């Protein structure tokens, strides 16, 4: 894991191979691994800033971030993933740290709302996200809305 490159791009800045690699990683994790047929191509990628780690053109960790007023009134982070081969190397922690930093720098806010899979509540808690108590099933997976001030 030495040749890892971190990238942050708007939709317009993607190269075709980068976009393909990102979508492949999302489908591999959310659709195939989590056995969850859902509309990954939801029309929001065009409004997001995309942040990811890659090695030899393969995405290892990824998320997309949104300015205020797109997904929520506050800024938000979504589609957070670490690919199977990249797990256990703290890339997820780096990813969220970078995402929070990018939101603060680009969107000038520290208020971030996310929809977290329940098994990650403690993980996000470590970054200052608090359980709002709003719980729901999304694509048959338990989620909790979390907020960071």
Please write the tens of the pLDDT for every residue from 45-70.
999 999 999 999 999 999 999 999 99
Rg (CA), the chain: 14
CB atoms under 10 Å from CB of 64, counted, come to 22
CA–CA–CA angle 106, 116, 134 (5° rounding): 110
Q: What is the pTM of this model?
A: 0.94
The answer to whether residue 124 is domain-embedded is: no
Range of the domain at 27: 5-117
Residue 141 lies in a domain: no
Residue 94 counted as domain residue: yes
Sign of the Cα pseudo-torsion (45, 60, 74, 145, in order):
positive
Flag whether 144 is in a domain: no
Which CATH number belongs to the domain containing residue 84 in this structure?
3.40.630.30
pLDDT attached to residue 74: 98
Element (H, E) at 148: strand 141-148
| pLDDT tens, residue by residue, 31-49 | 999 988 889 999 999 999 9
The residues, any chain, with a CB within 8 Å of residue 115's CB and separated by 6 or more, are 78, 138, 143, 144, 145, 146
Tokens standing for residue 68: 């205020």
In-domain check, residue 9: yes
CB–CB of 146/114 below 8 Å?
Answer: yes
pLDDT at 1 over 80: no
């Amino acid at each position: 894991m030495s040749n890892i490159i971190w990238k942050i791009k708007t939709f317009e800045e993607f190269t075709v191979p980068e976009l393909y690699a990102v979508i492949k990683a999302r489908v591999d994790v959310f659709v195939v691994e989590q056995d969850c047929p859902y509309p990954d191509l939801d029309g929001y990628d065009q409004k997001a800033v995309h942040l990811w780690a890659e090695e030899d053109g393969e995405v290892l960790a990824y998320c997309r971030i949104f300015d205020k007023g797109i997904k929520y009134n506050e800024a938000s982070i979504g589609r957070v993933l670490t690919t199977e081969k990249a797990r256990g190397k703290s890339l997820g922690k780096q990813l969220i740290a970078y995402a929070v930093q990018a939101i603060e720098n680009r969107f000038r806010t520290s208020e971030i709302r996310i929809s977290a899979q329940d098994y990650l509540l403690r993980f996000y808690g470590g970054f200052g996200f608090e359980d709002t108590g709003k719980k729901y099933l999304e694509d048959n997976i338990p989620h909790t809305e979390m907020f960071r001030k």
